[in-house]
Amino acid sequence: KAGVTQTPRYLIKTRGQQVTLSCSPISGHRSVSWYQQTPGQGLQFLFEYFSETQRNKGNFPGRFSGRQFSNSRSEMNVSTLELGDSALYLCASSLAGTGEIYGYTFGSGTRLTVV
Amino acid sequence: SQKIEQNSEALNIQEGKTATLTCNYTNYSPAYLQWYRQDPGRGPVFLLLIRENEKEKRKERLKVTFDTTLKQSLFHITASQPADSATYLCALASPNSGYALNFGKGTSLLVTP
């Protein structure tokens, strides 16, 4: 079956611009999470959605936002981009519902470069 | 504050040997722990999950132990192969964090022929 699909794979933006990243989870997975990965900080949790509701949010400024659609596809948006937002943004989907915990399937990520 | 530590130094071993990677944590009471493999430029790949009430989990050449008293997990790859060369990440989650994973920074493993 198809894996987690993230688009675009690479993106170059200018400081102050905004960006929208897209994620299509594995069919049947209703939980979608987003992570930021940088060499210095490693993988850091941004937010998690389940059935169009944000269930958890990491310690990131309000410039980072997301949403999930009824087909479980998710988008994240970063407004007023800063140089420090340059990172690999990873989306992960899971069967996690309410109670049971499963492993996450990650996409290949979107490499965002802010110049 | 919560801290997850993995050996930042790369682990170099010879093909056929057992690789053992360590994940230590402090100020944390995880409900479960997961191990992932990540290759350069790719997303992490899920390997194993172990719950707080489980001591050990196995999958093919992989074995994970979870000691909540020592606050430590060990990840073993037996009969290692060059194809096992990658960065290995441990990730913890607690009831307080919901479904958010808290990742260590990973240990790079290099298996040489």
- Segment B64-102, tens digit of pLDDT: 999 989 999 999 999 999 999 999 999 998 766 777 899
Query: Is the model's pLDDT at B63 over the cut of 80?
Result: yes
Q: What type of residue is A28?
A: G
Three-state helix/strand/coil letters over A13-73: ECCCCCEEEEEECCCCCCEEEEEEEECCCEEEEEEEEECCEEEEECCCCCCEEEEECCCCC
**A115 token code pair:** 């110049």
Q: Cα distance from B17 to chain A (closest Cα, Å)?
A: 27
Contacts of A108 in chain B (CB under 8 A): 41-43
Q: Cα distance from B4 to chain A (closest Cα, Å)?
A: 11
Arithmetic mean of pLDDT over chain A:
94
Distances (CA, A) of B20 to A47, B37, B55, B101: 32, 14, 16, 22
Query: Is the model's pLDDT at B42 over the cut of 80?
Result: yes
Q: Tokens 């130094």: give the residue.
A: B9
Q: B-side interface with A, Cβ within 8 Å?
A: 31-32, 34, 36, 41-49, 51, 89, 91, 93, 97-106
Q: Cα distance from B71 to chain A (closest Cα, Å)?
A: 20
Average pLDDT over residues A33-37: 97
Contacts of A48 in chain B (CB under 8 A): 98-100
Q: Chain B residue with minimal CA distance to A103?
A: B46
- Report the Cα B21 to chain-centroid distance in Å: 7
Confidence at A77, pLDDT banded by 50, 70, 90: very high
